[in-house]
Homo-oligomer: A and B are copies of this chain.
Amino acid sequence: MKHGHLSTKDLADFIRERATIEETYSRSMTKLAKSASNYTQLGTFAPVWDVFKTSTEKLASCHLDLVRRLQELIKEVHKYGDEQIKAYKKTKEDVSGTLEAVQSIQSITQALQKSKENYNAKCMEQERLKKEGATQREIEKAAVKSKKATDTYKLYVEKYAAFKSDFELKMTETAQKFQDIEEMHLLRMKEIIQSLSNTIKEIHLQIGEVHEEFINNMTNTTVESLIQKFAESKGTGKERPDYIWNDFCTFPMYFSIFP
């Protein structure tokens, strides 16, 4: 669960970093569109810069739209992160019984081990005294101690069995609970990622449309139309072959362009 919340935080960070990248890209594109409108507005090529400008502005707008939608998504991820913390605290309370069972099985296991060692030691002591031919009083005293150790050992074996059963039951329940939480978490994360990839896909399609529009606009911007537009801007209003003639009528200016 702790890693679950970390991964939610990481995902929000990842989307934020991506949003920052897209924002920088969008701003640079806006700047590029301005460059396009600052290029020379003289000559036959000038109207093409409007086509570039419009297209570049639209690209900037697509990426800014992506930024906005990523920011919405980050909010969603944060909201889920908060829900996670709440669920995390609630689950901690819910499994407190399991924590107790864990502590119980830990202490009973230690006590069982200790009583087993004590039992073995007492039995061996009794055997040793018998072999070494100790006094009857000493052997009886050891037998009492051995009997007491056996009873204690038995008691802990029974206690261990009861605690083990309780521990296993609670542990299985808790394991299932954690597994369910994990599955829900992964499902939620996958939903967020799907939302992310849908957004990126939609913006990608929009960008594709901007490219198509640019290609169409360039197809429509024929060499003839550019020369025609230039001729009109020179105010002749006449047919094509005349425009340069008219321009020439201001010849001293025209020839001065030669360095």
Number of interface residues of A (CB under 8 A): 75
Q: Would you give the shortest CB distance from A121 to chain B, in whole angstroms? A: 28
A189 CA / B174 CA spacing, docked (Å): 71
Q: Once the chains bind, are B244 and A215 in contact (CB under 8 Å)?
A: no
Q: Once the chains bind, are A186 and B25 in contact (CB under 8 Å)?
A: no
Question: How many copies of the shown chain assemble into the complex?
Answer: 2
A248 CA / B179 CA spacing, docked (Å): 12
Q: Is A223's beta carbon under 8 Å from chain B?
A: yes
Q: How would you classify the secondary structure of chain A's contact residues: helix, strand, loop or mixed?
A: helix
Known A43-B6, A223-B186; contact A175-B245, beta-carbon cutoff 8 A: yes
Q: Once the chains bind, are A3 and B218 in contact (CB under 8 Å)?
A: no
A33-41, A67-75, A149-157: which lies at the interface: A33-41
A220 CA / B208 CA spacing, docked (Å): 27
Q: Which A residues between 171 and 191 are near B, CB-CB below 8 angstroms?
A: 171-172, 174-176, 178-179, 182-183, 185-187, 189-190
Q: Once the chains bind, are B14 and A172 in contact (CB under 8 Å)?
A: no
Q: Would you give the shortest CB distance from A22 to chain B, in whole angstroms? A: 9
**A175: chain B residues within 8 A (beta carbon):** 241, 244-245, 248
Q: Would you give the shortest CB distance from A37 to chain B, in whole angstroms? A: 11
Q: Would you give the shortest CB distance from A234 to chain B, in whole angstroms? A: 12
Q: Once the chains bind, are B43 and A17 in contact (CB under 8 Å)?
A: no
Known A40-B3, A197-B214; contact A21-B28, beta-carbon cutoff 8 A: yes
A24-B25, A176-B244 known; 9 other A-B pairs, CB under 8 Å? A6-B43, A7-B45, A7-B48, A102-B255, A175-B248, A179-B244, A186-B226, A186-B227, A190-B218
